[in-house]
Amino acid sequence: MDLKAVEDLKGVLRSDFFHGYATAAAQIEGAWDRDGKGLSIWDTFGHTPGKISDGSTADDATRAYDFYREDVALMKSYGVNAYRFSLAWSRIIPLGGCDDPVNEKGIEFYSNLIDELLRHDITPFVTLFHWDTPQALEERYGGMLNQEAFTRDFVRYARVCFERFGDRVKHWITYNEPGVYTLAGYAAGVHAPGRSSFRERNAEGDSSTEPFIVAHTELVSHGHVSRMYREEFQPRQNGTLGITLHGNWSEPWDEDDPLDQEAAERAREFEIAWFADPLYKTGDYPASMRAQLGDRLPRFTAEESKLVLGSSAFYGMNSYTTFFVRHKTTPPDINDHKGNIESHDENKQGIPRGEESDTPWLRAAPTGFRKLLNWIYQRYQMPIYVTENGTTAKGEVAPTPEVLHDTFRIKFFEGYVGQALARAVKEDGVDIRSYFAWTFTDNWEWAAGYSDRFGSTFIDFDSQDKTRYPKQSAYYLDKLFKHLIQQA
């Protein structure tokens, strides 16, 4: 675990830089129906035959609900100073609604977890929503398709969390990757709640309209929660609140073709600026989206626009890879949500977009990550918190010495953190304040089940206690951040 490649970067990150791991409740907790927890849409989806690639469920997941104390201790041994996790809405309010009862057992679990983190000097970053809408709200009124009803319920849920945990939690995230939730759940229909125009896959849905309705609900409800936090809680709790957006770097397939350059920029706008422009720049959707989608893209009222613009105190950034983008000469399909482009694994010269991981869409591309950090910072001029970044690696099927010495993941972190992120700070002047690796342990990767292992800790899913085996990448990250972070 040599640091020669980053020798010149000693102390380039701010002394209060946060580094740790990110997780999601539905992927790690297990205890899916214990201690009063209600059903989420992912409980329903995971129990629907044919929806999860390996036929698994998250009923037990990694049993983080049972082993959170051991996990916090292990995390501490990895040298982290922060941990980003999500709350399961249906564990806190089982039926989800603004008039539904609070589950005190759920409150107790998260309160204990927060206290355990603080005892170990680990700063909690808490995400309110990581894709797991209470099933009752989906059945009651269609979930996010009903903006008014959903916003009312989400605001009340957020209030409960601020009231119960805000004395100790100072870093809040409303939504994790609202775009991925929207596109996978309502455009492709491969994630919960499983809606799309494709009837061979989903019984209901409209890929040409519903993703944009849901995205609008997420933005407006985030705005309402942000305003409530700023007015009612921030003055006495002194915390900060933002949102986390996804987005990968789009590189022109032919770097000399103006049409491919335009297509790459359009792809970035459809994927990232869709949410980021209303939040940080204009209070409205990008012109490129309006030009293609017309009235299928909702319009912000003046009040909504004012509510959303400036409602996130930082730019929460999840990113993993890079794609080569080529323009299309044919008109966009009605279900297109990418900006009428083609994505490629190689560019015109046959150069691949990165080294293959164990996940088809994810290739290691640190150069693109640095370009994306610059693009976001130049466009929005907000401090960036990298809230997710990580990789799978081929052949991680058993905790062998070779698997636990995960050289591919170490190389990935060296490229993304040690080169791209640190040099973006030092040489490009980008304001970056955190890095959360995805993820702490192998987990239940949504529709991929247990087949995609992103963890810096190997989990034996066949064992009763989901035995943990540390991988060397965890210790490499510790060593790397000790080198990069300025000593106070």
Q: Which residues are catalytic?
A: 177, 388
In one letter, which amino acid is 127?
Answer: T
104-119 helix and 147-165 helix, angle to the nearest 10 degrees:
50
Rg of the chain over CA atoms, in angstroms? 21
Containing H/E element for 82? strand 82-86
Q: What angle do CA 139, 43, 468 make, to 5 degrees?
A: 160
Distance, CA of 263 to CA of 261 (rounded, Å): 5
Distance, CA of 190 to CA of 5 (rounded, Å): 40
Containing H/E element for 79? none
Distance, CA of 477 to CA of 111 (rounded, Å): 28
Distance, CA of 171 to CA of 178 (rounded, Å): 18
Distance, CA of 239 to CA of 315 (rounded, Å): 15
- In our burial notation (b when 16+ CB lie closer than 10 A, e otherwise), range 203-214 reads eebbbbbbbbbb
Distance, CA of 26 to CA of 50 (rounded, Å): 19
Distance, CA of 441 to CA of 423 (rounded, Å): 28
Q: Are 86 and 25 in contact (CB under 8 A)?
A: yes
For residue 346, list its beta bridge partners: 352
Distance, CA of 173 to CA of 179 (rounded, Å): 15
The answer for residues whose C-beta is within 8 angstroms of residue 77's C-beta and 6 or more apart is 470
For residue 324, list its beta bridge partners: 251, 344
CB atoms within 10 A of CB 148: 11
In one letter, which amino acid is 248?
Answer: N
The label of the residue with tokens 């998260």 reads 110
CB atoms within 10 A of CB 378: 11
Q: Are 288 and 294 in contact (CB under 8 A)?
A: no
